[in-house]
Amino acid sequence: MAADVPTPDKQRLLLLDGHSLAYRAFFALPVENFSTTDGQPTNAVYGFTSMLINVLRDEQPTHIAVAFDRSEPTFRHEQYVEYKAGRQKTPDEFRSQISLIFEVLDALRIPRMSVAGFEADDIIATLSVQATAAGLETLIVTGDRDAFQLVDDKVTILYPVRGVSELARMDPAAVETKYGVPPERYRELAALVGESSDNLPGVPGVGPKTAAKWLVKYGNLDELVAHVDEIKGKAGDNLREHLGDVLRNQQLNKLDCDVALEAAPPELKMGQWDRDEIHTLFDSLQFRVLRERLYSSLTAAEPEADEGFEIDVQTLEPGALGSWLEDNSGGRLGIAVTGTWGRGTGEITALALATLAGPAVSLDPAELIEDDERALAAWLADASKPKAMHEAKGPMLALYARGLTIEGLTSDTALAAYLALPGQRTFDLADLALRYLHRELRSETEDTGQLTLDGSGEEEAANDLAVRARAVAELADVFDADLEKRGATRLLHEVELPLVRVLADMERAGIAVDADHLVGMSASLGGQVKETEQLAHAAVGREFNLGSPKQVQQVLFDELNLPKTKRTKTGYTTDSDALTTLLEKDGHPVLEHILRWREVAKLKSIVDSLIPMADDAGRIHTTFNQMVAATGRLSSTDPNLQNIPIRTAEGRQIREAFVVGPGYDTLLTADYSQIELRIMAHLSEDDALLDAFSSGADFHTITASRVFGLPPEQIDSELRARIKAMNYGLAYGLSAFGLSQQLRISADEARGLMEEYFQQFGGVRDYLQNVVAKARQDGYTETILGRRRYLPDLNSDNRQRREMAERMALNAPIQGSAADIIKVASLNVDSALREHGLKSRMLLQVHDELVFEVSPDEHSELESLVREHMAGAYELKAPLEVSMGTGRTWQDAAH
């Protein structure tokens, strides 16, 4: 239960033990379930921040501070050298999060304290004593029971009893009920019982109940010591034998209440935290839900929004839409649509149009008369009428399904936000309105601020949709100015916005599938799954669940006593990399069967997911996502066509299920040859690398020849593979350790290989060094088309986050430039197909590959157009090369 709300006469100091709570959060939340898309663990900082928000909401302190331990030895180590000895090494995943917790506290303007030679609870003890003297009530949030000795009528402990989600309020009565002694005797009880986490052994066989009974009987520890000879039995013998330990424990358990601190309680007032700083930090940590909880729970910050939108939603008579559009189309209109869409189609249930500062109108498509429908269609299709939407592709599909096309789209506020904030995971309109317009998505009247509704659900929905349209119109103007400052205006208007329609067209078209082939594959893979499972059982001598990490751990490490892999919270890792390494070391057949079972089971799940996705025409329609990858690369979902493996025979069989549809001759695939490496050569301007491309010979063989000092004909497959891994690895920001893991060689050998590589390709080394240095100076990297990726962690004190940011700085310009080029190629090819009146159509973009369905008698012309416009998408110093193939299936068209 929360305490009473503080009043001006009753101020409350909240003190938190930072390390104690962070550790509890770390072990309460599985690290494997809490990390950013870049790999930064966040379970400790998430749990800590969640608890902090809750306690701030519930307790409403007027003053606050968080105390942290230091790495230096304390005065207790000087008194007892074995103090806290034997503690396990702090996990790296935890250590990397402490600086993130510091960032959260700094952003919330919450003071944090640490003092060399003292522990966090000494700082807390000092502040609590000072707070009492200053007339403040004190609440202490800690998982360290030593703090119970501080409890009195003015000091209460909030003690975590389940992770960090449930806190017990420990006042004097609660401490005595729990331990049988009042708070002032708790230190003496702890001295008798001992504390294993601090390596302070107590009296053997003496627990809290026995210790409490002694202290109650004799009054305090001094009296107990004075009468120690009266204690009978084995417990008495142990007490007398270990009395020295008890007295030492009592001394070490005593909290220092006189630590010299930089600030006293009256100076620790709750600060006014910065909204934009919280947004930036929580974006990087990907804490969307926590951010919403923070803003909905706390009032310490400047309000996120104190008003909605004043908007005049007009009701039109039948036939009046054309006049309304003519009167209000002088500027850009915001459009908001409700309905359903996906799988290449959709249905509109309502539509709203809003001017920037004037009236708005909400429309029910089902009630439009013919004249209104005609007026709406003409306006939507008029490229001279500027329009703005939010996440336009879905509504565009729904409009297409109704026979409506949309031109003149000058802003998609979600896409614009993505270019401004590429590291963010979601671009919700309500969130953007709060952040950029400082208003909530609600309608209000000018005088009262009340909702302008008459109580009907239909009118409320119409007003809500009109507000969304107005917010889109206003945000479009804000983002126009923002992207101009960021140099991203051309990228939005010449690449991302035009691509929306191209992607929508591809989603509408879909790709034909051979359902019988998929069904047959499913049956075949199901048989392989069962067969592999039986082989694994036979290798062990009993049945077990191959899909259960716990059971696999038990079989491998408990029953078979195989060498242990990396330790995790739930035991030892059984991921594929670990089992592959273990197979190389040990060779036990069950490892091969487990790995094979996982591979086949995954393929079967992919196949089984594809079967029900085909529509009545036998085509599958994926959904392309422009706003997922921070590098600008497209992704696809439902199904994820980038998830289909092509390096195995079974994976290639899945591609055989994607076929040419009726009315078309064949599929054509076209992709770029070594585009990342060509971009790396272009950006680095390394002469040797450029020469390798211009030689016309195999690029990896030529580069290997230079590195190893051998003629090309003496470069065998192993040497070529090493340099191929190096070539691509550098484009992805690969470290020496990563290269060693990939090639299964030592880190020293990998480091030596990189040094040999850079001796031959010094321009690459210089480029990689300079790109990180420039990004650290600018705060972002840029692609060849000016796509920025902001990397504030390049200057982070957190080594893990800084190194991750450095890897991103290395690969973002190359990966992002490849994404830019394939997008430009898609646009140019699409324009060429329209210009030449071809019936052939583009179906898919997957990574650097485009897939086309070729109409009869158009193969030669299509191939020529595709090659011309893909190769000409951007002029690189190592010119783009396009590889092509044709066939009845996607796999047959491989090249």
Per-position DSSP letters for 674-720, written without gaps between them:
SHHHHHHHHHHT-HHHHHHHHT-S-HHHHHHHHHHT--GGG--HHHH
Which tens digit of pLDDT belongs to each residue from 825-859? 999 999 999 999 999 999 999 989 999 999 999 99
Query: What is the number of structural domains in the chain?
Result: 5
460, 478, 510: which is the final residue of a domain?
Answer: 510
588 lies in the same domain as 496: no
What is the pLDDT at residue 770? 92
> Is residue 520 included in any domain, yes or no?
no
Phi, psi angle pair for 601, to nearest 5°? -65, -40
The rounded distance, in Å, linking the Cα atoms of 383 and 407 is: 5
575, 591, 620: which is the final residue of a domain?
Answer: 620
Q: Is the pLDDT of residue 333 over 70?
A: yes
> Is residue 110 included in any domain, yes or no?
yes
Q: Give the CATH number, domain containing residue 747.
A: 1.10.150.20
Are the C-beta atoms of residues 335 and 390 closer than 8 Å to each other?
A: no
Position 606: which residue type?
A: I
Q: Give the CATH number, domain containing residue 881.
A: 3.30.70.370
| Mean pLDDT along residues 71-84 | 65
> Is residue 35 included in any domain, yes or no?
yes
The rounded distance, in Å, linking the Cα atoms of 26 and 96 is: 11
Residues 6+ apart with CB under 8 A from 148: 157, 170, 175, 179, 183, 186
Taking alpha carbons only, the member of 88, 110, 73, 82 closest to residue 23 is 88
Q: Give the CATH number, domain containing residue 541.
A: 1.20.1060.10
Q: Is the pLDDT of residue 195 over 90?
A: no
Confidence at 405, pLDDT banded by 50, 70, 90: very high
Residues 6+ apart with CB under 8 A from 554: 544
437 lies in the same domain as 339: yes
The rounded distance, in Å, linking the Cα atoms of 7 and 570 is: 47
748 lies in the same domain as 653: no
Residues 6+ apart with CB under 8 A from 834: none
What is the pTM assigned to this prediction?
0.76
Q: Give the CATH number, domain containing residue 492.
A: 3.30.420.10
Q: Is the pLDDT of residue 276 over 80?
A: no
The rounded distance, in Å, linking the Cα atoms of 447 and 271 is: 33
Q: Is the pLDDT of residue 569 over 80?
A: no
DSSP state of 242: T
The rounded distance, in Å, linking the Cα atoms of 113 and 91 is: 23
Confidence at 234, pLDDT banded by 50, 70, 90: confident
Which tens digit of pLDDT belongs to each residue from 699-735? 888 888 888 888 888 988 888 888 888 888 877 777 7
| Mean pLDDT along residues 565-593 | 84
23 lies in the same domain as 148: yes
377 lies in the same domain as 502: yes
318 lies in the same domain as 397: yes
> Is residue 230 included in any domain, yes or no?
no
Q: Is the pLDDT of residue 218 over 70?
A: yes
Percent of the chain with pLDDT over 90: 50
Are the C-beta atoms of residues 664 and 853 closer than 8 Å to each other?
A: yes
CA angle 436, 437, 438 (to 5 degrees): 100
808, 834, 862: which is the final residue of a domain?
Answer: 808
687 Cα distance to chain centroid: 38
Count of CB atoms situated within 10 Å of the CB of 369: 11
Q: Which helix (H) or strand (E) holds 173?
A: helix 172-179
Q: Is the pLDDT of residue 86 over 60?
A: no
385 lies in the same domain as 500: yes
The rounded distance, in Å, linking the Cα atoms of 138 and 156 is: 6
Beta-bridged to residue 113, according to DSSP, are 67
Count of CB atoms situated within 10 Å of the CB of 326: 11
Which tens digit of pLDDT belongs to each residue from 140-171? 999 888 899 899 999 999 998 876 678 899 99
Pairing of strands 200-201, 345-354: unpaired
> Is residue 363 included in any domain, yes or no?
yes
Are the C-beta atoms of residues 233 and 240 closer than 8 Å to each other?
A: no
Range scoring the smallest mean pLDDT among 306-315, 444-453, 541-550, 884-893: 444-453
Taking alpha carbons only, the member of 338, 307, 356 closest to residue 460 is 338
62 Cα distance to chain centroid: 34
344 Cα distance to chain centroid: 28
Beta-bridged to residue 160, according to DSSP, are 167
Confidence at 299, pLDDT banded by 50, 70, 90: low
Taking alpha carbons only, the member of 368, 356, 370, 418 closest to residue 392 is 418
Q: Is the pLDDT of residue 662 over 80?
A: yes
> Is residue 196 included in any domain, yes or no?
no
CA angle 623, 625, 631 (to 5 degrees): 150
What is the pLDDT at residue 75? 64
Percent of the chain with pLDDT over 70: 93
| Mean pLDDT along residues 491-515 | 97
Taking alpha carbons only, the member of 407, 404, 559, 572 closest to residue 498 is 407
Tokens 């899945």, residue located:
654
Q: What is the dihedral of CA 16, 17, 23, 24, to 10 degrees?
A: -50
Structure tokens, 622:
């994926």
Per-position DSSP letters for 266-326, written without gaps between them:
GG-BPP---HHHHHHHHHHHT-HHHHHHHHHH--SSPPS-S--B--EEEPPPTT-HHHHHH
What is the pLDDT at residue 724? 86
Q: Which helix (H) or strand (E) holds 833?
A: helix 799-835
Quote the domain boundaries for residue 320.
312-510
What is the pLDDT at residue 536? 94
What is the pLDDT at residue 289? 79
Taking alpha carbons only, the member of 588, 621, 351 closest to residue 511 is 621
837 lies in the same domain as 871: yes
Confidence at 346, pLDDT banded by 50, 70, 90: very high
Structure tokens, 420:
């401004």
The rounded distance, in Å, linking the Cα atoms of 857 and 862 is: 10
651 lies in the same domain as 734: no
Are the C-beta atoms of residues 66 and 16 closer than 8 Å to each other?
A: yes
Are the C-beta atoms of residues 664 and 873 closer than 8 Å to each other?
A: no
Per-position DSSP letters for 495-558, written without gaps between them:
IIHHHHHHHHHHHHH-EEE-HHHHHHHHHHHHHHHHHHHHHHHHHHTS---TT-HHHHHIIIII
Which tens digit of pLDDT belongs to each residue from 588-639? 999 999 999 999 999 999 999 999 999 999 999 999 999 988 889 999 999 9
Pairing of strands 841-846, 511-513: unpaired
401 lies in the same domain as 483: yes
Q: Give the CATH number, domain containing residue 101.
A: 3.40.50.1010
> Is residue 7 included in any domain, yes or no?
no
Q: Which helix (H) or strand (E) holds 117?
A: none
Taking alpha carbons only, the member of 102, 825, 852, 877 closest to residue 511 is 852
Q: Is the pLDDT of residue 749 over 90?
A: no
> Is residue 537 included in any domain, yes or no?
yes
363 lies in the same domain as 486: yes
121 against 283, higher pLDDT: 121
Taking alpha carbons only, the member of 111, 161, 156, 165 closest to residue 138 is 156
What is the pLDDT at residue 445? 46
Q: How many residues does the chain have?
A: 895
Confidence at 214, pLDDT banded by 50, 70, 90: confident
587 lies in the same domain as 538: yes
| Mean pLDDT along residues 125-138 | 93
Are the C-beta atoms of residues 610 and 518 closer than 8 Å to each other?
A: yes
